[in-house]
Amino acid sequence: MNNSFLWGGATASYQCEGAWNEDDKVDSMWDAYLHEKGLENGDVASDFYHRYKEDIRMMKEGGQNSFRFSLSWPRIILDKEGTVNPKGLQFYHDLIDECLRQGIEPFVTIYHWDLPQYLEAEGGWQNRATCDAFMHYARVVMKEFDGKITYWTTFNEPRWFIFNGYFIGNYPPECHSAQMTIKGAWHVLLAHAMAVQAFREEGIQGKIGIVHSYTPVDGVDDRPETLKAMRYADNYCNNWVLDTATKGEIPQDMLDKLSAEGIDLSFMNEADLQIIRNNHVDFLGLNYYSRTLVKPYTEGETTLIVNNTGKKGKGTSKTIVKNWFEQVQDPDSEYTEWDTEIYPKGLYDGLIRAWERYHLPIFITENGIGCYEDVSVDCVQDDWRISYMNDHINAIMNAMDDGVDVRGYFAWSSFDLYSWKNGCEKRYGLVAVDFENGLCRRPKKSYYWFKDVIESKGERVERRKL
Ligand code: BG6
């Protein structure tokens, strides 16, 4: 790895900041939803809003040279008229300045799911006006922090928050509608392209990309019907985000199939399509947790279930997309308590495919394992995380050896934080946060291991062929 390779951790505003109603911040859709339902929420989370200096110091001491975090839209823009909150901007100036002082490259996500509730109340991502509001917000922050930031990304994981919010219904606004899913996805792609347009119009320094929940698709065999199912699955999982953001092309066979199945695409008007066609990213951020193994569709209605129970095989995750494909589990693979397959080879395969297809610089913007951990000890001996990270960094290094231009690796997450519907007990951090005892921070064994890896420029990783 060369000296400019970025090594760090990643977080998201709602998942770590807390301070949910401080310094004039307004409600996000997650504040409103979780408060209304009385569910575990991010009101305090890791209290990063007040402890960011300590957290950045630990990143520095851990040898990291970059930090991926998101800006909170409802902290910065107070209403649908677009009023800017100076206190919100000040917080991020302070945070960014602290990063720069410590030699940590800030890697910024503009949107990581915390839509202001005043926009959700007007239809959220179903409403074309939200795209204009996003462009305004993106323009404000890009101009405000111009010159301090080299790497901007517009959206974190469009697929994940759109499918969960509009089809699976485990995220706000808890809908179950294919039509709303497609329309929401369209508006997010459009808003993304509008932000890229604003970035170019304003002559903002640095580079702009998008972060995708990348899940490379494998088939159970190579029969023609399986290959067809794989193409449908790849469109569903990846291509609609990646093809569109990199080339301005929404996969035509996917649009044809959606129309044939009765989805109304009349909202895709020519003027907006033109914005999408004209505004492409400079790099890709890929979050990798697992691949998707598929077989041809056989029967049943479309069923999407995410395991938020934390009991292996109980909340059984399932994906069947009627007339498209069915996801299957590999009996020979290992799975986490949340039914996520541990499959580092998928990262190698995915990097090779993304490189062949898009030829753009790639950052692995998230990778990590969620576990139950006892954090009352001095140092959590998280050998499972070390082994997981070792095998995934090894996969990246193998892909780089084979020519893929990977520029950085961000562990999810820098420290323990609130894991959406899984609460705080699903821990991903390199640093333990004791949520029960004053939120004190203690580095885990993986933090020290990661430091060694960084200092050795990757030499410390146990290499193997995949
Ligand atoms: C990604 C998100 O989907 O994965 C994060 O960008 C999220 O926000 C992470 O926390 C892990 O998922 P989960 O559901 O286990 O928290």
The residue contributing the CA closest to ligand 1 atom 12 is 419
Please tell me what DSSP assigns to residue 402. Answer: T
Please work out whether the CB of residue 214 comes within 6 Å of at least one atom of ligand 1. Answer: no
Beta bridge mates, 284: 210, 362
Report whether 108 contacts 152 (CB < 8 A).
yes
Residue 365 Cα to ligand 1 middle (Å): 12
Distance CA 370, CA 385 (A): 9
Q: Which two tokens stand for residue 353?
A: 């495919």
When pLDDT is cut at 50, 70 and 90, the band that residue 313 belongs to is: confident
Residue 207 burial by Cβ neighbours in a 10 Å radius (0-12, 13-18, 19+): middle
Please work out whether the CB of residue 215 comes within 6 Å of at least one atom of ligand 1. Answer: no
Residue 368 Cα to ligand 1 middle (Å): 9
Residue 370 Cα: closest atom of ligand 1? 15
Residue 100 Cα to ligand 1 middle (Å): 26
Q: Does the pLDDT value for residue 314 go beyond 70?
A: no
Residue 419 Cα to ligand 1 middle (Å): 6
Q: Can you give the pLDDT at residue 24?
A: 98
The residue contributing the CA closest to ligand 1 atom 16 is 419
Least confident of 12-21, 53-62, 298-307: 298-307
Rounded to 10°, the helix 128-144/86-101 angle is 50
Q: Does the pLDDT value for residue 273 go beyond 70?
A: yes
Beta bridge mates, 318: 305
Q: Identify which of 137, 80, 82 has the alpha carbon closest to the alpha carbon of residue 108.
A: 137
pLDDT higher at 372 or 314 = 372
Q: Identify which of 440, 441, 463 has the alpha carbon closest to the alpha carbon of residue 62.
A: 441
Average pLDDT value for residue range 70-80: 98
Please work out whether the CB of residue 168 comes within 6 Å of at least one atom of ligand 1. Answer: no
Please work out whether the CB of residue 388 comes within 6 Å of at least one atom of ligand 1. Answer: no
Q: Does the pLDDT value for residue 315 go beyond 60?
A: no
Rounded to 10°, the helix 178-201/240-247 angle is 20
Residues with a known catalytic role: 157, 366
Residue 205 Cα to ligand 1 middle (Å): 29
Average pLDDT value for residue range 453-462: 96
Q: Can you give the pLDDT at residue 399?
A: 98
Let me know how many helices (H) and strands (E) the chain has, helices first: 16, 17
At residue 323, φ and ψ (nearest 5 deg) are: 70, 5
Residue 335 burial by Cβ neighbours in a 10 Å radius (0-12, 13-18, 19+): middle
List of domains in the chain: 6-288+340-455 (3.20.20.80)
Distance CA 387, CA 45 (A): 27
Least confident of 48-62, 326-340, 388-402, 405-419: 326-340
At residue 319, φ and ψ (nearest 5 deg) are: -135, 115
Please work out whether the CB of residue 412 comes within 6 Å of at least one atom of ligand 1. Answer: yes
Q: Does the pLDDT value for residue 78 go beyond 80?
A: yes
Residue 213 Cα: closest atom of ligand 1? 3
Q: Does the pLDDT value for residue 109 go beyond 90?
A: yes
Residue 421 Cα: closest atom of ligand 1? 14
Please work out whether the CB of residue 290 comes within 6 Å of at least one atom of ligand 1. Answer: no
Q: Identify which of 37, 32, 38, 1 has the alpha carbon closest to the alpha carbon of residue 14.
A: 32
Q: Can you give the pLDDT at residue 366?
A: 98
Q: Does the pLDDT value for residue 168 go beyond 70?
A: yes
Q: Are strands 341-342 and 334-335 parallel, antiparallel or unpaired?
A: antiparallel
Residue 113 Cα: closest atom of ligand 1? 8
Residue with tokens 């890791």: 46
Mean pLDDT of the chain: 97
**Ligand 1 test: best mutation among 170, 367, 385, 419, most atoms within 8 Å of CB?**
419
Model confidence pLDDT, tens digit, residues 210-235: 999 999 999 999 999 999 999 999 99
Q: Does the pLDDT value for residue 456 go beyond 70?
A: yes
Q: Does the pLDDT value for residue 325 go beyond 70?
A: yes
Residue 256 Cα to ligand 1 middle (Å): 31
Reported as type and span, the H/E element at residue 141 is helix 128-144
Q: How far is CA 409 from CA 149, 199, 208, 364, in A?
A: 18, 24, 17, 5
Model confidence pLDDT, tens digit, residues 110-162: 999 999 999 999 999 999 999 999 999 999 999 999 999 999 999 999 999 99
Please work out whether the CB of residue 446 comes within 6 Å of at least one atom of ligand 1. Answer: no
Please work out whether the CB of residue 365 comes within 6 Å of at least one atom of ligand 1. Answer: no
Distance CA 286, CA 155 (A): 12
Residue with tokens 């399509």: 273
Residue 44 burial by Cβ neighbours in a 10 Å radius (0-12, 13-18, 19+): middle
Report whether 104 contacts 157 (CB < 8 A).
no
